[in-house]
Chain A
């Protein structure tokens, strides 16, 4: 399957990646071979096979609704690039 430059740039934009011209070219080729590899699966007849979301035979892993102590706020904020002691300070965003 052919991957266009626009498709690469779209995926890059979604992942917040800035690509150089060179990287874009290389990724076009990479993505083409990755998709091509997955395309191989289309050769199989999957009529009547239920789509598989999970490959491990496990289900219903739950926890009970019981309260556990939260972390101290200092711990939560410890790795924040910027904080006022209450929260994470980030560039102003208003959508």
Chain B
């Protein structure tokens, strides 16, 4: 049978505030275990939380950037459960009055615009980390992450394929990055998602039974988990079985998910209004103040790149999906480089190196001005494209002025016609057969000869000049 997949996502984003949500401990990734803790975030008896105003600002900002209605009267609630990563044995979250509701994000699926509903965005505190390795029969609890502020962004079940879900995640990530609500560092877990997925026979209105998947730590893992899950459910239905509503854990190493808990032993969180925290009342003035701080968002920036710089839609999309990448692009263009080559280098070699080194666009070690200079050197004919790749590697290894690097690495292109002509004559003298082939109309022979000259010059001779001199010499021969 043909099925349609229905996906809803819950995305947790750590906020880029300086301090934690309810105390003044530093909100920063890593650090020695339990060194960013105080009695409030470790849940010592008798302590009282005080809400960080910046958390509310950031959540409202995320809400405005995703077209949400901002809740005028919000409150926080206790979600009760026992797990040792949560020293208070409850998480302060929001239940029925989240800060933002009823928004949407527009995504672009192969050129077609789709509107994905945002049910709600609420604020809550992160839990600590348990470390199991090297502790034998014990686990070690590190509470540095306890109380790190989070927003949870819940989507409507509007996504229809893992691919759409991926595009939605990328779009959401770039919005959060642009608004600087979160640093979105995936490898540090700043952005995590839970997946809800069900399938239904094509044409059926009613949703099928959904499964929730936890422990999905990257977008790539999310896509794999969704592909696995839609297949798993289809196989059950094809065999006449029934999909059980359950929570499953995704194992990215093995590429399978396993049941965590079923509907029967679903958690009973017993939410109730948090008695230690007073209501959050948001005035129109407050919302307008925050609205003013929202920068040019990815969609607008993309349109600007297409209209102003005539970049292809695809290039503009890739560049703007990371704010840091787009900022780098803008800065390099401002330094006088032509938009298209800057875009090509960023999308091509630079992205590839970043990927290989598992770095993010914000980690590019050299400056936009240095990239602009490198591109200028190619355009002036000082270095060839292939030499530029070596300069780029050097710029990643030890950022420096490209001119200095060209000199240091001896990569300057030889454009001296006299020197190249000498090499051309040498190559021709050694390859009479190729000359004959060329005369017989075999164009390949020319390519071979160019390659030979290039080899002798150790890749430094200007290819245009080689071409020109070779052709001249062959025509005379």
User: Cβ of A86 < 8 Å from any Cβ of B?
Assistant: yes
CB neighbors of A among B136-186 (8 A): 136-143
Q: Across the interface, do A76 and B34 meet the contact criterion of CB distance under 8 Å?
A: yes
Q: Across the interface, do A71 and B38 meet the contact criterion of CB distance under 8 Å?
A: yes
A58 to B83, CA, bound (A): 32
Q: Across the interface, do B140 and A60 meet the contact criterion of CB distance under 8 Å?
A: no
Which residues of B lie under 8 Å from residue A60 when comparing CB positions?
278-281
A90 to B39, CA, bound (A): 19
Q: Which of A60, A66, A77 has the most CB of B within 10 A?
A: A60
| B251 → chain A closest CB, angstroms | 12
Q: Across the interface, do B26 and A67 meet the contact criterion of CB distance under 8 Å?
A: yes
CB neighbors of B among A1-60 (8 A): 10, 14, 16, 53-54, 56, 58-60
Q: Across the interface, do B278 and A54 meet the contact criterion of CB distance under 8 Å?
A: yes
A58 to B278, CA, bound (A): 6
CB neighbors of A among B231-281 (8 A): 260, 268, 270, 273, 275, 277-281
CB neighbors of B among A55-93 (8 A): 56, 58-71, 73, 76-77, 82, 84, 86-93
Name A's interface SS: loop
Q: Across the interface, do B34 and A86 meet the contact criterion of CB distance under 8 Å?
A: yes
| A36 → chain B closest CB, angstroms | 20
Chain A interface: which size bin? 35 or more
A-contacting 9-mer, from B48-56, B444-452, B469-477: B48-56
A77 to B136, CA, bound (A): 20
- Which of the residues B18, B25, B138 comes within 8 Å of A90, measured between beta carbons? B138
Number of interface residues of B (CB under 8 A): 50
User: Cβ of B342 < 8 Å from any Cβ of A?
Assistant: no
Q: Across the interface, do B273 and A53 meet the contact criterion of CB distance under 8 Å?
A: yes
Q: Across the interface, do B34 and A77 meet the contact criterion of CB distance under 8 Å?
A: yes
Given A65-B53, A76-B42, A53 contacting B132 (CB threshold 8 A):
no
CB neighbors of A among B26-57 (8 A): 26, 32-39, 42, 50-54, 56
A61 to B38, CA, bound (A): 20
Residue of B nearest to A71 (CB): B38
A88 to B141, CA, bound (A): 5
Which residues of B lie under 8 Å from residue A58 when comparing CB positions?
278
A89 to B137, CA, bound (A): 10
A67 to B17, CA, bound (A): 10
A56 to B52, CA, bound (A): 20
- Which of the residues A16, A59, A68 comes within 8 Å of B24, measured between beta carbons? A68
Q: Across the interface, do A71 and B37 meet the contact criterion of CB distance under 8 Å?
A: yes
| A52 → chain B closest CB, angstroms | 9
| B474 → chain A closest CB, angstroms | 72
Q: Across the interface, do B53 and A62 meet the contact criterion of CB distance under 8 Å?
A: yes
User: Cβ of B207 < 8 Å from any Cβ of A?
Assistant: no
Given A70-B37, A92-B138, A61 contacting B277 (CB threshold 8 A):
yes
Q: Across the interface, do A91 and B139 meet the contact criterion of CB distance under 8 Å?
A: yes
Which residues of B lie under 8 Å from residue A70 when comparing CB positions?
25-26, 35-38
| A61 → chain B closest CB, angstroms | 5
| B20 → chain A closest CB, angstroms | 10
Q: Across the interface, do A92 and B53 meet the contact criterion of CB distance under 8 Å?
A: no
Which residues of A lie under 8 Å from residue B56 when comparing CB positions?
62
- Which of the residues A56, A73, A88, A91 comes within 8 Å of B137, measured between beta carbons? A91
A70 to B38, CA, bound (A): 5
A89 to B130, CA, bound (A): 10
| A29 → chain B closest CB, angstroms | 22
Which residues of B lie under 8 Å from residue A16 when comparing CB positions?
82
Q: Across the interface, do B51 and A62 meet the contact criterion of CB distance under 8 Å?
A: yes
Q: Across the interface, do A92 and B135 meet the contact criterion of CB distance under 8 Å?
A: yes
- Which of the residues B35, B52, B83, B132 comes within 8 Å of A65, measured between beta carbons? B52
Which residues of A lie under 8 Å from residue B142 when comparing CB positions?
86-87
Given A58-B278, A66-B24, A76-B42, A90 contacting B141 (CB threshold 8 A):
yes
Q: Across the interface, do A63 and B24 meet the contact criterion of CB distance under 8 Å?
A: yes
| A41 → chain B closest CB, angstroms | 16
Given A61-B278, A62-B53, A93 contacting B139 (CB threshold 8 A):
yes
| B337 → chain A closest CB, angstroms | 38
Given A71-B37, A86-B140, A95-B260, A65 contacting B51 (CB threshold 8 A):
no
A58 to B80, CA, bound (A): 25
Counting from the closest, the 3 A-B pairs by CB-CB distance are A68-B24, A65-B54, A62-B53
Interface residues of A (CB under 8 A from B): 10, 14, 16, 53-54, 56, 58-71, 73, 76-77, 82, 84, 86-95
Q: A62-B53, A94-B139 are in contact. List 16 more A-B contacts (CB 8 A).
A: A56-B278, A60-B279, A63-B51, A63-B53, A65-B53, A68-B19, A69-B24, A71-B37, A76-B37, A77-B34, A87-B131, A87-B140, A88-B34, A92-B132, A93-B83, A94-B132
What are 25 sample pairs from A and B whose C-beta atoms fall under 8 A apart?
A: A10-B268, A14-B270, A53-B279, A54-B75, A54-B275, A59-B281, A63-B24, A63-B50, A64-B54, A65-B52, A67-B18, A67-B26, A70-B35, A76-B38, A86-B33, A86-B140, A86-B142, A88-B140, A90-B130, A91-B137, A91-B138, A92-B135, A92-B136, A92-B137, A94-B132
